[in-house]
Amino acid sequence: MQYTEKRMGGTRLRLAHNQPSVVGSDGKVITVTPWLAPIVWEGTFDPTLIDSIYKQQNITIATTVFALGKYTQFLKDFLESAEQNYFVGFCVHYYLFTDQPQQVPKLKLGEGHQLTVVEVPSSNRWQEITLRRMERLEKLIESRLINEADYVFSLDVDTKFYGRWGTESLGRLIGVIHPGYYQTPREQFPYERRPESQAFIPRAEGDYYYGGAVIGGLVKDVYEVAKTCRKQLDIDAAKSIEAAWQEESHLNKYFLYNKPSKVLSPEYLWQDLKARTNEVKIIRFSQVIKNYAAVRPNP
């Protein structure tokens, strides 16, 4: 089926494709995207084998985490649970952005793991904090990660690890399927729907709804994500438009045209308040329950 779409004065012919499923009608999980990227679920990989491949490569995985304002309270559980589950046995370098370095818990990290605190100014709008992560990630990659790491993940801090998150998650460009929308028709995805925004996605388009809590991949590929989203956020800001879900909306737009080379299933981004479903055999990383009014600087 074809449809035409008017854009920038010209007519662009696009082939419409069906929305890809995440769980089949038989209840079994789908393990490959229609563009042939793996979707990582428990049972699709052998952890021992996949670790042995990356062991030979002596890789470093940079991990950026932001904890500003009251979100420093999440650091202890985040870091402690990461040390139990996140790339155990591999070189991990956390870059922790905070406005309160004195609130960073002192932890003994596992072998090969290190943590650098980066002090940043406070902000009184949570939306500003989350969307500015793109710019800070872009700058960090330019100034340091280009020389210091092979892969990078950007992760939300209001989270906990409950299971292995390891080398199976590595690849050129990585996105995670948001746990709230993997069985939702795409026209109901909370994409940005105003054409004035750079994050705009029409109702008939979209593959998955990706969570903004996880972005990963090779340093140079994540650099392109961060730089592009930062530029798009700047264009919107100049027009006083803020996308529905800030940088998450821009990330979804980026992934629509630059498909991830590997997709992490909702095992890699669950929500503590969401009951486990049949298809999810293990919860690896999950958003903790938070009282929004109590932890955010503004409504």
Ligand X SMILES: CC(=O)N[C@H]1[C@@H](OP(=O)(O)OP(=O)(O)OC[C@H]2O[C@@H](n3ccc(=O)[nH]c3=O)[C@H](O)[C@@H]2O)O[C@H](CO)[C@H](O)[C@@H]1O
Nearer to Mn ion, 20 or 180 (CB): 180
Q: Whole-number minimum distance, CB 149 to ligand X, in Å?
A: 19
Which sign, positive or negative, has the C-alpha torsion 62, 264, 279, 288? positive
Q: Which residue has the tokens 């486990």?
A: 276
| The residue to which tokens 């592009």 are assigned | 228
* Bridge partner residues of 153 (DSSP): 63, 216
Would you give the binding string for Mn ion spanning residues 178-197, x where CB under 5 A is met?
Answer: --------------------
33 binds, among ligand X, Mn ion, none (CB under 5 to 8 A by kind): none
- Minimum CB separation of residue 292 from ligand X in Å reads 7
Tell which one of 138, 158, 242, 279 touches Mn ion (CB under 5 A): 158
The answer to whether 195 and 163 have CB atoms below 8 angstroms apart is no
Closest residue to bound ligand X by CB:
212
The reply, when asked if residue 157 is annotated as ligand binding, is yes
Member of 42, 83, 156, 205 binding Mn ion (CB under 5 A): 156
Among 138, 242, 247, 267, binds ligand X (CB under 6 A): 247
Residues tagged active-site = 248
Q: How far is the CB of 212 from Mn ion (least distance, A)?
A: 8
Strand duo 91-98 + 60-67: pairing = parallel
How far, in Å, CA of 98 to CA of 71, rounded?
A: 9
Region binding Mn ion by CB under 5 A among candidate stretches 52-60, 86-94, 149-157, 200-208 = 149-157
Tokens of 276: 């486990």
Contact 115, 62 (CB under 8 A): no
248 binds, among Mn ion, ligand X, none (CB under 5 to 8 A by kind): ligand X
The interface with ligand X within residues 169-188 (CB under 6 A) comprises 178
Question: Is position 113 annotated in a ligand binding site?
Answer: no
Which residue's CB is nearer to Mn ion, number 158 or number 168?
158
Q: Distance between CA 56 and CA 164 in Å, rounded?
A: 20
Whole-angstrom distance, CA of residue 158 vs CA of residue 160: 7
Q: Which residue is nearest to Mn ion (CB)?
A: 156
The residue from 22, 40, 61, 68 that contacts ligand X (CB under 6 A) is 68
Q: Output the CA angle 83-85-89, nearest 5 degrees.
A: 75
Judge whether 254 is annotated as a binding position: no
Q: Which residues, 142 to 171, sit near ligand X by CB under 6 A?
A: 156-158
User: What DSSP line would sit under 223-279, residue for residue?
Assistant: HHHHHHHHHHHHHHHHTT---TTHHHHHHHHHHHHS--SEEE-GGGSEETTSPP-TT
Distance (Å, rounded) from C-alpha 174 to C-alpha 262?
A: 5
Interface with Mn ion, residue 247, by CB under 5 A = no
Helix, strand, coil percentages in the chain from 3-state DSSP, rounded to 5: 30, 25, 40
DSSP secondary-structure letter at 160? E
Q: Is 69 one of the binding residues for ligand X (CB under 6 A)?
A: yes
Is 256:136 a contact under the CB 8 Å cutoff? no
Q: Does 66 bind ligand X (CB under 6 A)?
A: yes
Which residues are known binding-site members? 71, 156-158, 178, 248
Q: Which residues bind Mn ion (CB under 5 A)?
A: 156, 158
Which residues are known binding-site members for UDP-N-acetyl-alpha-D-galactosamine? 71, 156-158
